[in-house]
A and B are shown apart, each in its own frame.
Chain A
Amino acid sequence: MKLYEQTAANLSMLLQKKEVSSVEVVQSFLDRIELVEPYVKSFITHTPAMALDMANAVDNRRVGGEKLHPLAGVPIAVKDNISTQGLRTTCASRVLENYIPPYDATVVETIRRLGMPLLGKTNMDEFAMGSSTENSAFYPTRNPWDLERVPGGSSGGSAVAVSTGMAPLALGSDTGGSIRQPASLCGLTGLRPTYGRVSRYGLIAFASSLDQIGPLSLTAQDSAMLMNVISGYDSLDSTSLSEAVHDYTVHPEEDVKKLRVGVIKQNVSESFDPQITAAVMKSVALLKDNGADVDDVSLPLTDYGLGAYYLIAPSEASSNLGRYDGVRYGYNSGGDNIEAMFSATRGRGFGPEVKRRIMIGTYALSAGYYDAYYLQAMKVRTLIRRDYETAFKRFDILVGATTPTPAFKIGEKTEDPLQMYLSDICNITDALAGVPSLSVPCGISSDGLPLGMQLAAPPFREGLLLKVAGFLEQNRDYLPLRPRVKLPEGGEV
């Protein structure tokens, strides 16, 4: 049995039965990383010694008869915009290339406390701005299903680490699709929780009214296990919510009888790759055959979501990224004039996409344009929320494609930012409305690329999303869930 091929749930079971040690589990993933990582580049920082130390400590406690959490000893990879005390956290930016956080993010404090060994910090688009992980200041991450293609983004490194068996679980962040889109392009389950469900404390801010941390995993059950430990109120995040946390555990006997499913017309559009629409409709038919009530629904404001998002998110970003001025942390350009130092630090430190977003945001917030751009975008956000509220009176979940196309080629969209933005077209409105949204694999294209289906539910119903994803998983008729990585020099791993 190859431990690195196991789901987190299986590893948890094997560890609890003492059939394997955490050191054996971690070593299996470290060996896999050594083999696969050079071809895909999904990590920015590797932490093998730290992972083995944690595994060893957990094993000793278990041998000593201590009752441990089911996830104790199960390793994890963490996106590099989530603060880890004493461990470099870069946001894939030159600006934070040598930044060592003085504190842990709340989610990191949780995984350390439970005894989950950290395998490393994963690659991403700089400051989570992007849809392909090509905006990393260090190197792009490659899609293991086809090394010439992007893994999606911005949580591309987290997605690829799980997809290739370099980690059984990963944490990502989703501002306008950054968990769901890479999950879709890499054949994984990825969940954006309800805004406020998971503490953002220690998540380096991009757009504060939209950012959420969430899981990426091979199965719905694995995401559920991680959600069970990262959800809940945190006094250090004043936007975290105190609603009771449900047990998200997915049961194999889940059914979908009487589930009211709305198929969002705009997200099974004729302009999308027909293979995606066909795969989504096949999953919808499966739900219907098993007793779900299915109907079409139009969310007419979807067409305006992109515009609202690309004003709101950059506006918040332009404010949040004001802190990178070379004084308290990060890159400093030098110079003996403070204004010139600020501008040169930022001009040399940030990459092109971050600069674009800062410019859009600064413009949208500037005198004379605020009402027409930022204020209007916030009003449109209200209309979008109403669209969802109306739709959720009729439906329990809303479904459609996660992405308009399967993974695109590296370099294909880098010269045309607007085309890149359009790859998140299905993901943005859920984020603006603040509702939970999940991507689940729903097929493989004729080119052998994964296709994803997106499910959204009313606030705090992520348990329902995981349950339906689990049902679809149990009943899917295609394999494989994991790619064989075809190496450029021939052979596969």
Chain B
Amino acid sequence: MAIDFGKEVDYVAQLARLTLDQEEKKRMAGQLSDILDTARRIQELDTTAVEPTAHVINLPAVLREDVTRPSLSLNRVLQNAPRRQKDFFRVPRIANKIPEQAED
């Protein structure tokens, strides 16, 4: 049974913050249906009681001493910023209006 990805494309593109034009959406729907049809063959396998492998190395969380170390200068950190204002990354306005505080 083929997956109809057409209905999902808009929703997934929205989740991924990805603008796609109509032509891209059409192509994407067909190609992703094919790819997912192949990928979901893994659902044939019985994986009851199988632990997932997120990582091939079973490392414990790696901790280090909590000591300050030199880090990159602000200028180096900001050198690639598409938009910079003084020592900040500049972005478009995020909140248009401060919502009124709830009573409780």
Contacts and interface: CB of A to CB of B under 8 A. Distances in A.
Contact of A100 (B44, B50, B80): B80
Contacts, number: 168
Interface of B: 8-9, 12-13, 15-20, 24, 27-28, 31-32, 34-36, 38-45, 47, 50-57, 59, 62, 64, 72, 76-77, 79-83, 89, 91-94
Interface of A: 98-100, 102-103, 195-196, 209, 235, 238-239, 241, 301, 303-304, 306-308, 310-311, 318, 322, 325-332, 335-339, 341-344, 346-348, 350, 352, 355-356, 358-360, 362-363, 366, 372-373, 375-383, 385, 417-418, 421, 433-434
Contact of A341 (B16, B35, B92): B92
Contacts of A238: 59, 62
A381 B94 CA distance: 41
Given A332-B82, A355-B28, A356-B32, A310 B18 contact: no
B43 A358 contact: no
20 contacts: A100-B80, A102-B77, A196-B56, A196-B57, A239-B59, A308-B42, A318-B16, A338-B94, A339-B17, A346-B18, A352-B24, A356-B28, A356-B31, A358-B18, A362-B16, A379-B47, A382-B50, A382-B51, A385-B53, A433-B56
A322 B16 CA distance: 8
A241 B94 CA distance: 42
B14 to A, nearest CB: 8
Nearest to B64: A235
Given A330-B82, A346-B17, 11 more contacts: A209-B55, A209-B56, A307-B42, A355-B28, A360-B35, A363-B36, A373-B36, A380-B47, A381-B52, A381-B53, A434-B57
Given A360-B35, A379-B50, A379-B51, A328 B20 contact: no
Nearest to B56: A434
Contacts of B32: 356, 359-360, 363
A377 B52 CA distance: 8
Contacts of B94: 338
Chain B CB within 10 Å — which of A322, A329, A372 has the most?
A329
